[in-house]
Structure 1
Amino acid sequence: MRPLRVAILTHSTNPRGGVAHCLALAEALCALGHEAVVHAPDPDGNGFFRSAACPTVPVAARTITDKAAAGTTAERVRARINDYLRHFASPAACDFDVFHAHDGIGGNALATLRHRRLIPGFVRTVHHVDSFADPLLAEWQDRSIREAKRLLCVSRVWADWIRDDLGTEADIVGNGVDLSVYRPEPARTDAGIRERWGLGPGPIVLAVGGFEERKNTAGIIAAFARFRERHPAAQLVVAGGASLLDHAPYRARCRAALAAAGLALGPGAAVIETGPVPQGDMPGLYRIADMLAFPSWKEGFGLCVLEAMASGTPVIVSRLAPFTEYLAPCDALFVDPAESGDIADAMDAATMPERRSRLRAAGLARAAAHSWRACAERHLPAYAACARPRQEPIHA
């Protein structure tokens, strides 16, 4: 296959699973001899959350000046679509062989560019499908999928959804983990991370994704309240949470649940909310944690599961796809996400030395089976099918 120039579009420069996937995929594609360039709207001008061994383009993004409009998700999404349309407005900016969107924002921008005959078509990865009450957001999400030339998914559950609901096929590309970054061996910086957030002897329960409904943060809090009755020194760390969507009502619900359970929030308290964590600190945070609690309601794949496993940390996941697709029963502690007692019992099990040892060994083996190189190679047939012929002119 000839070397390709690939424009990869994601929705944000912040540390979200889809953004991490794009950067790692691009790095692996570059290692295979292609030129993969990751683009994302960058309203703050801070660039991507980590440096990358691939080209990146923080796309100039306008700030919404209308305060009322700025508060709506639809207007924020519209603004980011328009940011992309401005960036790719010229034929020179569209000088790529393949265009690959990872969300509805990039997908809508590329669909419009295709109608303007600036690009021949695009690949769309569907990580997961959201349920939007706003009909405009639902329409944009649908358009970004239906107008793609080729569809990819990171798990079978969403490929099946596309087949059943849209009547088309999607290839499964999976996910990967960088074993040179996420390692079980302690690092000198781990102690500083523990001190920064006031983490005591534990047990430490880590939840990744912030206060978000599909992450089941309220269920984690209810389970942790039970768990802490048995382990009074336990602490819950809620990491991440940067999102374009509005999770404020759910976050308020979670805070009310913390108050009702008598769980203080803050550094050194029972519950610590970190916000986005610097990339260099994440491997250490996984290692410090006694477990990752990730009983989500809806996931595309759950990249942090592989990251925790590669760090030697036991994982609690929902007894739902996609987790049941790529994890064996012995790899993790599977729970009913609707049962806080079930989640609390799994937290207990994760502290038992013999069980921890088995989970650690199984998790390390499972993580080692997921490489970004293999993930990148699974993209190549879709890229070949959508690549712009070299002799094809770019229409003005």
Structure 2
Amino acid sequence: MRPLRIAILTHSVNPRGGVAHCLSLAEALCAMGHEAVVHAPDTTGEGFFRDARCPTISVAAKPIDGTTADLVRTRINDYLRHFGSPAACDFDVFHCHDGIGGNALATLKHRRLIPGFVRTVHHLDHFDDPSIAEWQDRAVREATRLLCVSRVWADWIGDEFGAEAEIVGNGVDLDAFQDRPTEADAVVRERWGLGAGPIVLGIGGLEERKNTAGTIEAFARLRETHPGAQLVLAGGASLLDHTPYRARCLATLDALGLATGPGKPVVVTGPVPNDQMPALYRVADMLAFPSWREGFGLCVLEAMACGTSAIVSRLPPFTEYLEPGDALFVDPARPRDIAGAMASTLVPEIRAALRAAGFKRAAAHSWRACAERHLDAYASCASLRPEPIHA
């Protein structure tokens, strides 16, 4: 295949799984000789949450203080302004990873500025607002080629839209995520007041689909036998409004008598600097990730690569790419089940077995292999562009 110029569109510059996926995918494509440029709306102009080994473009974005629908509409228009000329659309392939980019590209296709686009569906949400629901569906319907990171969502698209989606999976950067301790480990412990533990790590902030409330209730049970245990809830940057669920989680913490803050039983960090994430995985005794709904769950591979045991829901997509011995599978509706898994990860024999299996599972997911699975879709979309006329 000839080298391609690929515009990859994501929804923000913040540390979310889909954004991390876009950056790592583009880096792998660039290493293969293509030019993959990651675009994202950026209200600050400060760029992505980490430095990237690929070109990036911060799309000028207007600050917005309104409803989620107002935000989505504004971000679509931010993209339309950026790609409003043929010169800005000088790419062989356009590839979006969410409904914001998908709607912008669908409009550009109708304006005949681009011939089509590739869409990766990481996961889809339920929205009560009809405008947002329609935008989400349009970004799937209008795509020229559909990709998914897991079988569960490919099947869902087939059932709901009657469309075929190819599975591209995910990867993990084994150069960044390693089990070898660094100076950052001590920095993380000191910054958040982490003691002897055990340390339970949750990723995604306080969010309903992450089942944060279930993790909190399970953690409270663990502290009955391990009073020095601490729960670190990291991340949480999101375009969606999770205020009601966050309030529910905080009320649960209060009812359980779990104080929050550095050095306290529960530490809510917010987004963590990217260079500190491997250290945070390493200082944790386990990753508790009993989510209700995920596209893939990239943080599971990251934790495994750092030697940290993972607790996941006995649901797809986890049951697709993990074998029974790779992680501890739990019923996300049963905090007692989750608490039991937390305790099990502290048993030396179980911990050692999970650590060994996790290293093997993470090593099997390379970003290059993931990038190669995109090439057929890219080639088909690139073929739709008319050949340039040379004088």
Query: Which position in structure 2 is the counterpart of 1:301?
Result: 296
2:158 is matched with 163
Name the structure 1 match of 2:368.
373
Q: CA deviation at 1:379?
A: 0.2
C-alpha separation in 2, matches of 1:337 and 1:71: 33
**Contact 1:127–1:153 (CA<8 Å) still a contact in 2?**
yes
Distance of 1:37 and 1:322 partners within structure 2 = 28
Retained in 1: the 8 A contact 2:115–2:385?
Answer: no
Partners in 1 of 2:278 and 2:377 — Cα distance? 32
Mapping for residues 198-237 of structure 1, pairs under 5 Å:
198-237=193-232
Q: Number of aligned residue pairs: give it.
A: 389
Note the C-alpha offset of 1:393: 5.6
Partner of residue 352, structure 1? 347
Q: Which runs of 5+ in 2 are unaligned?
A: none
Query: Where do 1:45-56 residues align within 5 Å?
Result: 45-56=45-56
Query: 2-side partners of 1:224 and 1:274: how far apart?
Result: 17
Give the stretch that moved more between structures: 10-19 or 70-79. 70-79
CA–CA separation in structure 2 for the residues paired with 1:253 and 1:331: 32
Whether the aligned pair in 2 keeps the contact of 1:296 and 1:337 (CA below 8 Å) is yes
Name the counterpart of 1:94. Answer: 89
Say yes or no: does 1:8 pair with 2:8: yes
Q: CA deviation at 1:391?
A: 4.3
The letter of the residue matching 1:8 is I
- The answer as to 2:305 corresponding to 1:310 is yes
In 2: Cα distance, 1:168 partner to 1:287 partner: 41
Q: Where does residue 57 of structure 2 map in the other structure?
A: 57
TM-score (norm 1): 0.97
Q: Which amino acid aligns with 1:344?
A: A
- Alignment RMSD (CA, Å): 1.0
TM-superposed CA distance for 1:71, in Å, is: 3.0
Q: Given the superposition, is the C-alpha separation of residues 328 and 13 from structure 1 closer, same or farther in structure 2, using an over 3 Å criterion?
A: same
Q: 1:290 aligns to what?
A: 285
Q: Which runs of 5+ in 1 are unaligned?
A: 65-69
1:184 touches 1:310 (CA, 8 Å); kept in 2? yes
Aligned 8 A contact 1:80 1:105 in 2? yes
Task: Give the Cα separation in 2 of the matches to 1:81 and 1:221.
Answer: 36
Residue 83 of structure 1: how far off its partner (Å): 0.4
**Matched residue type, 1:27:** E
Shift in Å at residue 63 of structure 1?
Answer: 1.6
Equivalent-residue separation in structure 2 for 1:172 and 1:200 (angstroms): 42
Tell me how far apart the structure 1 counterparts of residues 79 and 126 of structure 2 sit (CA, whole Å): 24
CA displacement, residues 262-300 of structure 1 (integer Å, 9 cap, x when unaligned): 000111100001100000000000000000000000000
Give CA deviations for 1:54-77 in whole Å, capped at 9, x if unaligned: 00001000123xxxxx23100011
Could you state the TM-score of these two structures normalised by the residue count of structure 2? 0.98
Q: Which 4+ stretches in 1 moved above 2 angstroms?
A: 388-394
Within a 5 Å distance, the mapping from 1:268-287 to structure 2 comes to: 268-287=263-282
Range that drifts further, 24-33 or 186-195: 186-195
C-alpha distance in 2, partners of 1:253/1:243?
Answer: 17
1:196 paired to 2:191 = yes
1:192: how far off? 1.1
Q: What does the per-residue CA deviation read over 1:87-111, in whole Å, with 9 as the maximum and x for residues that have no partner?
A: 0001100000000000000000000
Q: Given that residues 199 and 232 in structure 2 are in contact (C-alpha distance below 8 angstroms), is that contact kept between their aligned partners in structure 1?
A: yes
- 1:355 partner amino acid: I
Q: Deviations over 1:291-317 (max 9, x none)?
A: 000000000000000000000000000
* Deviation at residue 165 of structure 1 after TM alignment: 1.2
| CA distance in 2 between partners of 1:63 and 1:355 (Å) | 49
| Structure 1 residue 392: Cα displacement | 3.7
In structure 1, distance between residues paired with 2:254 and 2:45:
36
* Correspondence for 2:331: 336
Verify the 8 A CA contact 1:154 1:174 in the aligned structure 2.
yes
Asked if residue 250 in structure 1 is aligned to residue 245 in structure 2, the reply is: yes
Please state how far the C-alpha of 1:44 moved relative to its aligned partner: 1.9
Contact 2:115 2:384 in 1 (8 A): no
- The separation in 1 between residues aligned to 2:185 and 2:21, in whole angstroms, is 24
